[in-house]
A and B are shown apart, each in its own frame.
Chain A
Amino acid sequence: MYIELHARSAFSFLEGASSPEEMARSCAEFGMPSMALLDRDGLYGAPQFYLAANKIGVRAHIGAEVTCVQGWRYPLLVTSHEGYKNLCRLITHMKLRAAKGAGAIEVREWEGVSHGLICLTGGDEGPLAHALRNGGREAARKVIEQLCGIFGRNNVYVELQRHFSVQEERRNQVAIEIARNLHLPLLATNGVTHASPAQREILDVFTCLRHHRVLANAGRLLSCNSERYLKSPAQMAALFADLPEAIASTAELASRLQFTLKDLGYKFPTYPTPNNQSQMEYLRQRALEGMVHRYGTQNERAHLQIQRELSVIEKLDLPGYFLIVWDIIRFCREKNILVQGRGSAANSAVCYSLGITAVDPVGMNLLFERFLSEERGEWPDIDLDLPSGDQRERVIQYVYERYGKLGAAMTANVITYRGKSAAREIGKVLSFGQETLDRLASLVSAWEYTDSNDTLTRQFRDAGLDLANHRISKFFELCQKVQNLPRHLGQHSGGMVVCQGQLDSVVPLEPATMPGRVVVQWDKEDCADMGIIKIDLLGLGMMAVLEDSLKLIRAHNKVEIDLGHLPQDDPAVYSALQHADTIGLFQVESRAQMSCLPRLKPKCFYDIVVQVAIIRPGPIVGKMVHPYLNRRQGREVAESLHPSLESTLSRTLGVPLFQEQLLRMAMIAAGFSGGEAEELRRAFGFKRSEARMKDIEIKLRRGMESKGVTGETQNKIVQAITSFALYGFPESHAASFALIAYASAFLKCHYLAVFTTAMLNNQPMGFYQPATLIKDAQRHGQKFKPIDITCSQWECTIGESSENFPVRIGLRYVKGLHKETALQILTQRSIQPFASIEDLKQRVPQLQKDEMRVLAAIGALNFISNKTHIHRRSALWQVERAARPAGELFAEHLRNENSGPASRFLPSDPMNLTPMNNEERLVADFNGTGLTVGHHPMAQHRAELNRSGVSPASRLAALRDGAFVRVAGGVIVRQRPGTAKGFVFLSLEDETGIANIIIQPQLFEKDHTTVVHNSFLLIEGILQNQDGVISVKAGIIKPFHLIKAAAPAHNFH
Chain B
Amino acid sequence: MSFTALFAAVYVPHFILQAIGRSEPELRTHPLAIVDGPSPTFQVIALNRIAELLGVARGMTKAAASQFAQVTIRPRCIIHEAAAHAALLDVAWSITPRVEDTAPDTLLLDISGLASLFGDEEKIALEIVERASALGMNVHVAISANLETARIVARALPGPTIVPDGEERHFLETLPVAMLSPSLELAEIFDRWGVATCKALTSLPVLSLSECVGQEGVRLHAIASGKGMRPLLLAEPVQHFEEWLELDDAVDDLESLSFLLGRLLDQLSARLSARAVSIAAIHVHFELQPAFDHAFDTSRDLLRVKPAPGTFSCMLEMPVPTRDAKLLLKLLHLRLQSRPPGAPIQKIQITAQSSLARVTQSSLFVPTAPDPDKLELTIARIAAVVGDSNVGSPQLLDSHQPDAFQVRKFSVASAGISDSRSIAQSVSTINSQSSAVTAIALHAFRPPVPARVQLQGNKPTLVFFQGRSGTVLHASGPWRTSGQWWEEKPWQEDAWDLEILFSGEAQPPRGFYRFSYDGMLEKWFVRGVYD
A residues near B398, Cβ cutoff 8 Å = 217, 219-220
| Known contacts A219-B397, A470-B487, A876 near B193 by CB under 8 Å | yes
Assess the A881–B305 pair: CB atoms within 8 A.
Answer: no
How far, in Å, is B399 (CB) from chain A's closest CB?
A: 6
Is B214 in contact with A227, judged by CB distance below 8 angstroms? no
Report chain A residues within 8 Å CB of B104: none
A227-261: contact bitstring with B at CB < 8 Å (1 yes, 0 no)?
10000000000000000000000000000000000
Stretch of A545-553, A908-916, A955-963 lying at the B interface: A908-916
A201, B483: Cα distance in complex, Å? 9
In the docked arrangement, what's the CA distance between A201 and B486, Å? Answer: 8
For residue A470, which residue of chain B has the nearest CB?
B488
**For the complex, is A877 an interface residue (Cβ under 8 Å from B)?**
yes
Contact segment of A432-440, A686-694, A698-706: A432-440
CA distance A304 to B354 in the complex (A): 99
Q: Are B303 and A436 in contact (CB under 8 A)?
A: yes
* Cβ A222 vs Cβ B483 within 8 A: yes
Give the residue name and chain of the A residue nearest to B201 (CB).
A912
Find the residue from B479, B485, B486 having the highest chain A CB count within 10 A.
B486
Of chain B, the residue at the smallest CB distance from A849 is: B185
Q: Does B87 contact A (CB under 8 A)?
A: no
Which of B134-142, B166-174, B202-210, B230-238 contacts its partner?
A: B202-210
Q: Which residues of A contact B483 (CB under 8 A)?
A: 222, 224
Chain B residue numbers with a CB within 8 Å of A471 are 300, 303, 486-487
Chain B: residues with CB nearer than 8 A to chain A?
Answer: 39-40, 64, 189, 192-195, 200, 203-205, 208, 211-214, 300, 303-306, 397-400, 477-483, 485-488, 494
Of A163, A226, A881, the contact of B211 (CB 8 Å cutoff): A881
| CB-defined contacts of A219 to chain B, threshold 8 Å | 397-399
Q: How far is the CA of A876 from the CA of B212 in the complex (A)?
A: 10
Question: Is A524 located at the chain interface by the 8 A CB criterion?
Answer: no
Partner of B200, one of A217, A431, A912: A912
B482 touches A469 (CB 8 A): no
In the complex, are the beta carbons of B481 and A920 less than 8 A apart? no
B397→A913 contact, CB < 8 A: no
Write the nearest CB–CB distance from B262 to chain A, whole angstroms.
Answer: 36
| A908 closest partner in B (C-beta) | B208
Complex Cα–Cα for A165 and B494 (A): 10
18 chain-A/chain-B pairs, Cβ below 8 angstroms: A201-B486, A217-B398, A219-B399, A224-B400, A224-B482, A225-B481, A433-B303, A433-B305, A439-B40, A471-B300, A474-B485, A877-B208, A880-B212, A881-B208, A884-B214, A908-B211, A913-B195, A916-B194
**New A-B contacts (8) at CB < 8 Å, excluding given A884-B214, A908-B208:** A201-B485, A215-B486, A219-B399, A469-B303, A470-B488, A876-B192, A877-B193, A880-B213
How would residues 202 to 217 of chain A score, 1 for a CB under 8 Å from any chain B CB and 0 otherwise? 0010000000000101
CB pair A166–B214 under 8 Å, yes or no, is: no
A216 to B, closest residue via Cβ: B486
| Chain A neighbourhood of B200, CB < 8 A | 912
Of the residues A222, A469, A914, contact of B194 by C-beta under 8 Å: A914
Residue of B nearest to A205 (CB): B486
Whole-angstrom distance between the Cβ of A759 and the nearest chain B Cβ: 31
A853 part of interface (Cβ distance < 8 Å): yes
Complex Cα distance A920/B192, Å?
10
Q: Are B303 and A912 in contact (CB under 8 A)?
A: no
Q: Once the chains are docked, how many angstroms separate the CA of A21 from the CA of B99? A: 77
The 9 closest A-B pairs by CB, nearest first: A219-B398, A164-B480, A880-B212, A224-B400, A881-B212, A912-B203, A225-B480, A470-B488, A433-B304
Whether the pair A164, B212 counts as a contact (CB closer than 8 A) is no
Would A227 and B480 count as touching, CB distance under 8 A?
yes
User: What are the residues of chain B within 8 A of A432 when measuring CB–CB?
Assistant: 303-304
B397 to chain A, nearest CB (A): 7
Closest residue on chain A to residue B212 by CB atoms: A880
Within the complex, the shortest CB–CB distance from A427 to chain B, in Å, comes to: 11
* Chain B residues, Cβ within 8 Å of A225: 400, 480-482
Complex Cα distance A68/B479, Å? 31
Of all chain A residues, which has the CB nearest B195? A913
CB contacts (< 8 Å) of B39 on chain A: these are: 435
CA distance A431 to B486 in the complex (A): 11
User: Hey, which chain A residues are within 8 Å of B189, CB to CB?
Assistant: 876, 880
In the complex, chain B residues whose CB is within 8 Å of the CB of A910: 204-205, 208
- With A884-B211, A910-B208 in contact, is A873–B193 under 8 Å at CB? yes
Given that A880-B212, A880-B213, A884-B212 are contacting pairs, would A913 and B486 also be in contact in the complex, using a CB cutoff of 8 Å? no
Which residues does A use to contact B, with CB under 8 Å? 163-166, 200-201, 204, 215, 217, 219-220, 222, 224-227, 430-433, 435-436, 439, 469-471, 474, 853, 857, 873, 876-877, 880-881, 884, 908, 910, 912-914, 916, 920, 1009
Specify the chain A residue showing the minimal Cβ separation from B185.
A849
**Highest count of chain A CB atoms <10 Å: which of B477, B479, B481:** B479
Provide the residues of chain A in CB contact with B203, threshold 8 Å.
912
A281 CA to B489 CA, complexed, in Å: 75
Docked Cα-Cα span, A873 to B189, in Å, equals 10
B293 to chain A, nearest CB (A): 12
Q: Residues of A contacting B478 with CB < 8 Å?
A: 164
Instruction: Please report the C-alpha to C-alpha distance between residue A144 and residue B189 in the assembled complex, in whole angstroms.
Output: 74
- Report the Cα distance A470→B195, complex, angstroms: 60
A912, B480: Cβ atoms closer than 8 Å: no
Q: Tell me the bound Cα distance from A201 to B189 in angstroms.
A: 57
Query: A470 CA to B306 CA in the complex, in Å?
Result: 16
Considering the complex, give the chain A residue whose CB is closest to the CB of B398.
A219
**Contact indicator A920/B194 (Cβ below 8 Å):** yes
Report the bound CA distance from A1053 to B200 in whole Å.
Answer: 47
Looking at the assembled complex, report how far the CB atom of A18 sits from the nearest CB atom of chain B, in whole angstroms.
17
Residues of B within 8 A of A920 (CB): 194
Task: List the B residue with the shortest CB-CB distance to A439.
Answer: B40
A212 to chain B, nearest CB (A): 16
Complex CA gap A884/B486 in Å reads: 58
Between B193, B203, B487, the greatest number of chain A beta carbons within 10 A of the residue's beta carbon is seen for B193
Which residues of the partner chain A approach B485 to less than 8 Å between Cβ atoms? 200-201, 204, 474
Distance A204 CA – B488 CA, assembled complex (angstroms): 17
**Contacting B400 at CB < 8 Å: which of A215, A222, A227, A1009?**
A222
Residue of B nearest to A856 (CB): B192
Which residues of chain A have C-beta atoms less than 8 A from B480's C-beta? Answer: 163-165, 224-225, 227
Closest chain B residue to A168, Cβ basis: B479
> Given A164-B479, A224-B400, A430-B486, A912 and B192 touching (CB < 8 A)?
no
Chain B nearest CB, measured from A844 CB (Å): 19
Contact partners of A224 in chain B: CB under 8 A: 400, 480-483
For the complex, give the distance between the alpha carbons of A226 and B306 in Å: 33
CB distance from B144 to the nearest CB of A (A): 26
- Inter-chain contacts of B40 with A (CB < 8 A): 435, 439
Residues of A within 8 A of B192 (CB): 853, 857, 873, 876
Tell me, in angstroms, the Cα distance from A663 to B212 when the chains sit together: 73
> Min CB distance, A908 to chain B, in Å?
6
Instruction: Give Cα A913–Cα B205 distance, bound, in whole angstroms.
Output: 11
Query: How many whole Å from B344's CB to the nearest CB in chain A?
Result: 25
Contacts of A430 in B (CB 8 A): 486
In-complex Cβ contact of A435 among B213, B306, B477, B488 (8 A): B306
List residues of chain A with CB within 8 A of the CB of B211: 881, 884, 908
Q: Contact: B193 with A913, CB < 8 Å?
A: yes
A178 to nearest B CB, angstroms?
A: 19
Q: Which B residues touch A439, using CB under 8 A?
A: 40
In the assembled complex, the Cα of A433 lies from the Cα of B193 at a distance in Å of 45
B400→A873 contact, CB < 8 A: no
Chain A residues whose CB sits within 8 angstroms of the CB of B205 once the complex forms: 910
Instruction: Report the Cα distance A873→B200, complex, angstroms.
Output: 14
Taking CB atoms, residues of chain A closer than 8 Å to B399 are 219-220
A389 to chain B, nearest CB (A): 35
Residues in A with CB closer than 8 Å to B487 are 470-471
Whether the pair B64, A1009 counts as a contact (CB closer than 8 A) is: yes
Cα of A227 to Cα of B211 in the assembled complex, Å: 75
| Residues of chain B lying within 8 A (CB to CB) of residue A436 | 303-304, 306
Closest CB in chain A relative to B217 CB, distance in Å:
9
Output the nearest chain B residue to A874 by Cβ-Cβ distance.
B193
